[in-house]
Chains A and B, each alone.
Chain A
Amino acid sequence: MILVHVPGFPGNQTSLNPVGPGAERIEGEFALIFWITAIVYCLVLIALVVYVLRRRHSLNIMPEPMPTTPQSDRWAKVAVSGAMVVTVLLLFIMMIGSFVTGHALGNMNRETAYTIDVYGHQWWWEVHYPNDEPDKTVVTANEIHVPLGVPLRIHGTSRDVIHSFWAPNVQGKRDLMPGYETDVMMQIDQPGRWRGQCAEYCGEQHAHMSFYMVAEPGPQFQQWLSQQAASSVPPSTPQAVRGQQVFLGHACVMCHTVRGTPAGSRVGPDLTHVASRSTIAAGLLPNTIGNLGGWILNAQSIKPGCRMPPNHMTGSELQDLLAYLETLK
């Protein structure tokens, strides 16, 4: 396959800066179609402009219609037939290229691939790292750490409406539909944080439903995984203890899980290790104390329509709660 890199598209959310074999294959087919169609487009329009200029009638009145005969149209017939033959041939080339690429993407399927479960929610991503020992299953949100250079199977579905899982640097998109389960194979060969975003319109906050795929070398990934598998550490400072009471005494506990505490609801993201994540609100804000505080008090002003209700609490309660959440590394 002709593989031409199309320059000028840096970035961590573009299909033309591939960091894995999936997106790389697709970029090759993209480049093939791009060059063929660009050349054909230019040739057709040059022909059009040349003939319009050559056959242009300068008088301001409409001339009488011209008689035409099969003889006078003979060379036009030859030219049109030739152009059609070329069109069909080029379409055939692009079609075969498409089949070959599709076949290669299908062949990425490996029984041994590392499986990660992704569930779409309005408007965030629930991520599970299944493990044969249930207590080692990792549950997190919006930040998908993956081992570098290892075939991955993203096994996904939706918990509500249709979403589409798409990290363009890594692989093409796949819809997550309620009632259907789907597998998409991918692999990341370049360390970094690759951004993805929901690509199927899913309601009020479709614009704010992003995630990051964090690719890191195997040992680092294993370390992250074992840290995430642990329960939360009981709070040690008095403020954090008070904060935990705030968490358990307010509406937080109705929707969120913090493993190691009585909070076990699955409506919102699992917060057991929330402080280890770099963003909140599905990639909308950096995970800082200030942002977190504003989000807790009135998420509706930041992400209108989201499922997180406004929470009324005193300033000291909020400070305690934030101190507690900061301990959930």
Chain B
Amino acid sequence: MITTTAIESTAELTEQERAQAARLDAVWSEPRGFWGWFKAVHHTTIGKRYAVTAFIFFLLAGLLAGGMRLQLAFPEAHVLSNDLYNQFFTMHGSTMMFLFAVPMMFEALSVYFVPLMVGTRNIAFPRLNAYSYYLYLFGGLMFYIAFLCNTGADRGWFSYVPLAGPDYGPGKRPDFWAQLITFTEVSGLAVAVETIVTVFKLRAPGMSLNRIPIFVWGQVVVAFMVIFSLPGVVLSSTMLLLDRTCNTQLFNPAVGGDVLLYQHLFWWFGHPEVYIIFIPGTAVISTIVTTFCRRHAFGYLVLVLSLVATGFMAFGLWVHHMFATGIPQIAESYFTAASMMIAIPTGAQIFCWIATMATGKVVLKTPMWWALGFFFTFIMGGMTGIFVASVPVDLQIHDTYFVVAHFHYVLIGGAVFPLFGAISYWFPKVTGRMLSETLGQITFWLFFVGFNITFFPMHLVGIRGMPRRVYTYPPNMGWTTLNQIESLGYVLLFIAVCVFLANVSRSLKTGSLAGPNPWKAGTLEWATTSPPPHYNFLHLPTVNGREALWDAAPNQPVVIGLDEDARSFLTTRTLDAEPEGRDEFPRPSIWPFLAAIATSIAFIGSIFTPWGITIGAIPVAITMIGWFWPERQPAERRRAREIWQSE
């Protein structure tokens, strides 16, 4: 199956290769036309949609933040009513967590880059991938349409009971929030499964576990965390919905329900959620630091084990969001220790990155600037995290603006800085054109300064006693000036994002052509053209080291022998990535889109009647049958392959 042919990604194609590319293109091209848009299943198509959609939600949530900063710029102001403010901060938090951070950092990056970085032609279960995107999109649309109809969620992104329960949360606002969770969690779980299977079964030959790029390791760890943590919140939001629509009283203390149970279920998910958001961020930093320090990352094993350790430890900390509920002292000690220990793997990663810089050649391009910004902000967030981890100190700063500052330093520092770095790093790969370096650095400095002006004073105002989630505050508390500084910082952030958008729209049209590997990076996504064709690689690559392109032998072999008249791919063994077999991806189909519509009807229907799921299951079943209806030709090919493989 493997012969020796040199890969020279920039080399001119031979006549034979051009013919091969045409054949692959015919088989792998996405359907065209209006309906073709809904049939697309290739991971780069879906990945781009995830990224654009998530970024739009990021902008919307950012605008909501502007409304809040305007309201808080003056004490006892009346820019927003209390009702509107409560909707704003709930929508802001829910959007940033469920519609931006996880879909962007995990789903978009994983769907687009993991198959490219492991050197295969598509993500595992491509139709499920399309389905997951549409569910995410419909969930977000539902949430915002409800908001425009004055039914925006207003119980906080956590929607604690009994405040969000049937007695104190009238109307349908918390129901839309609860179903938003269902939508985004189904799509998150689907992408988690796809990612794990892609990485464990579809890697390029030679990419044994100890050669998987750190970015891919990060996404695998996150995928496992998604699978173990999301059931907690699915359970709690479903129980909340049952309480609200079926009168189950699960959380009603008057009849023996338990309000604390909800918090345990929610934070079982809610704490790992934070790591789900920033582990991809740290994995991006590892990638950028490697490329822009021109050497293999120092301490590959430490970096990977740190990601895995963070993934495990994340499940031992959830109670530190609940210290103020008055838990027994022995449990407090355990969760304090666990919360502080999480600093060990994170610290190890930071020291390894600094060591990489100290022993490499640092090239200060825009992605590297974002990585440096990450250090200043994320480490600050980590340091204030130690305050939060200590039970006694937490009792003073929990639910104050100190915590608001802390988690914006962690999440903007740990996810948004790496995200902007990732965008400036991979934009040439995705679009084929370079972003402007000048505008990129202007964006960075505006954002970095604006971010610190907005969020650093929140530490101080929190220590001065300002609680979170207040729509206004009295004038004589010593909070006014600090709040006004914060609001001014928002203006800088706003301008920074505008410059960024201008840079993107300008570069899409007139940016200089990138070529396959503008950064001379080492991972496999740079071994193909920019943007990649729908078959990803003309020759499926093999791997000889941790940075596949840097470590490639002069005559590095490629994979040949796959059918070119079908969407075939190579499966490899999980540990050593030795070739194991061949299989075939399904063709584009409209059914995942229809199934997503049917599922959305069932989910939204269940907001209004418990029968929504029961009756809604029928169209879901019908569309799923259409989705999985066997096709004759692929089935025959598969049977032939199985006979061939078993012999």
Contacts and interface: CB of A to CB of B under 8 A. Distances in A.
A82 to B, nearest CB: 9
B344 A26 contact: no
Nearest to A94: B386
A173 B155 CA distance: 21
Interface stretch (A160-168, A252-260, A262-270, A309-317): A160-168
Contact of B362 (A14, A56, A64, A168): A56
Contacts of A206: 467, 469-471
B351 A68 contact: no
Given A63-B294, A64-B520, A80-B355, A45 B395 contact: no
Contacts of A47: 354, 358
B299 interface: yes
Nearest to B343: A91
B296 interface: yes
Interface string B325-348: 110010011001100110110011
A3 interface: no
Nearest to B163: A161
Contacts of B468: 199, 201
A175 B326 CA distance: 7
B495 to A, nearest CB: 26
Nearest to A207: B470
Given A45-B375, A201-B469, A102 B391 contact: yes
A57 B347 contact: no
Question: Among A66, A83, A201, which residue has the most Cβ atoms of chain B within 10 A?
Answer: A201
B602 interface: no
B282 interface: no
B295 A80 contact: no
A296 to B, nearest CB: 20
Interface stretch (B50-58, B376-384, B555-563): B376-384
A9 B464 contact: yes
A198 B467 contact: yes
A300 B413 CA distance: 41
Interface in A198-256: 198-207
B82 interface: yes
A54 B360 CA distance: 10
B36 interface: no
A16 B86 CA distance: 29
Contacts of A289: none
A84 B324 contact: no
Interface stretch (B108-116, B195-203, B252-260): B252-260
**Binding site secondary structure of chain A:** mixed
Bin the interface of chain A by size: 35 or more
Interface string A167-208: 010011111011110101000000000010111111111110
Interface string B385-404: 01101111111111110000
A97 B393 CA distance: 11
B336 A95 contact: yes
Nearest to B465: A13
A294 interface: no
B27 interface: no
Given A41-B379, A44-B379, A79 B81 contact: no
A162 B259 contact: yes
Nearest to A91: B340
A76 B358 contact: yes
Given A13-B465, A37-B383, A26 B473 contact: no
A88 B345 CA distance: 10
B547 interface: yes
Interface string B131-167: 0000000000000000000000001100010110001
A173 B399 contact: yes
A18 to B, nearest CB: 10
Given A175-B324, A199-B400, A55 B362 contact: yes
Contact of A91 (B83, B344, B375, B471): B344
B570 to A, nearest CB: 27
Given A57-B294, A73-B298, A87 B347 contact: yes
B472 interface: yes
Contacts of B156: 201
A2 interface: no
A45 B376 contact: yes
B348 A84 contact: yes
Interface string B150-193: 00000110001011000110000000000000000000000000
A72 interface: yes
B550 interface: yes
A199 B399 contact: yes
17 contacts: A11-B478, A26-B396, A30-B393, A45-B375, A47-B354, A48-B357, A57-B363, A80-B351, A102-B332, A160-B167, A172-B324, A174-B326, A178-B253, A200-B324, A202-B163, A203-B155, A206-B471
Interface of B: 81-83, 86, 155-156, 160, 162-163, 167-168, 253-254, 257-260, 293-296, 298-299, 302, 324-326, 329, 332-333, 336-337, 340-341, 343-344, 347-348, 350-352, 354-355, 357-364, 372, 375-376, 379-380, 383-384, 386-387, 389-400, 463-465, 467-473, 477-478, 518-520, 522, 547, 550
Given A52-B357, A172-B392, A203-B86, 4 more contacts: A26-B393, A29-B392, A55-B357, A180-B259
Interface of A: 9-11, 13-16, 23, 25-26, 29-30, 33-34, 37-38, 40-41, 44-45, 47-48, 51-52, 54-57, 62-66, 68, 72-73, 76-77, 79-80, 83-84, 87-88, 91, 94-95, 97-99, 101-103, 105-106, 122, 160-162, 164, 166, 168, 171-175, 177-180, 182, 184, 195, 197-207, 304-305
